[in-house]
Amino acid sequence: MKSIILIALGVSGLIGGYVFLSRPDAPPSTPVAAEVPDGALVSVTLPENLSEAATVGKALFEGECAVCHGVNAAGRVGVAPPLVHRIYEPGHHGDESFQRAVALGVQAHHWPFGDMPAVEGVTRADVEMIVAYVRELQRANGIQ
């Protein structure tokens, strides 16, 4: 009986993973530069206004994160994923996930870009502002 339950859990996990990854908004298996201009992986709609925290976060993002994650967190073909993507919605990657990624680095697990190294010199307060910016971009693009 125990083995039947374990098999059922394994099969349901495989099916759930397949459904998640086969959704239209799932990460592309092979990013194509021609899909979005300038090597970005996604098209990003900008919010009309940014909060004060997000305005500071935008400046920090542009100085620390955009080199890999692209302008407006749209990702860069062959470099790093877009953060304006359902994978990074708050319910799947909470704010602390961003803190940990910056402080400790992170092993690749959703995208084929390789591991992200820790980012030296970026404080928890900096990441809070960066996350405010990313979350406002996400909301402007229907990611909640």
15/37 Cα distance (integer angstroms): 34
Q: Name the band, by pLDDT with cuts 50, 70 and 90, for residue 125.
A: very high
In this prediction the pTM is: 0.74
pLDDT band at 18 (very low <50, low <70, confident <90, very high): very low
Domains annotated for the chain, with CATH where assigned, are: 30-140 (1.10.760.10)
pLDDT given for residue 38 in this prediction: 72
Residue 5 predicted with pLDDT over 80 = no
Compute the distance between CA of residue 26 and CA of residue 52 in angstroms, rounded to an integer: 31
Phi/psi at 116 (5° precision): -95, 125
Q: Cβ(44)–Cβ(84) under 8 Å?
A: yes
At residue 104, the pLDDT reads 98
Q: Given pLDDT bands bounded at 50, 70 and 90, which one contains residue 34? A: very low
Q: Which amino acid is at 130?
A: I
Closest CA to 40 of 10, 84, 63, 70: 70
- The lowest-confidence range among 1-15, 37-51, 102-116, 118-132 is 1-15
Portion of the chain with pLDDT greater than 90, in percent? 72
- pLDDT tier for residue 96 given thresholds of 50, 70 and 90: very high
What is the identity of the amino acid at 132? A
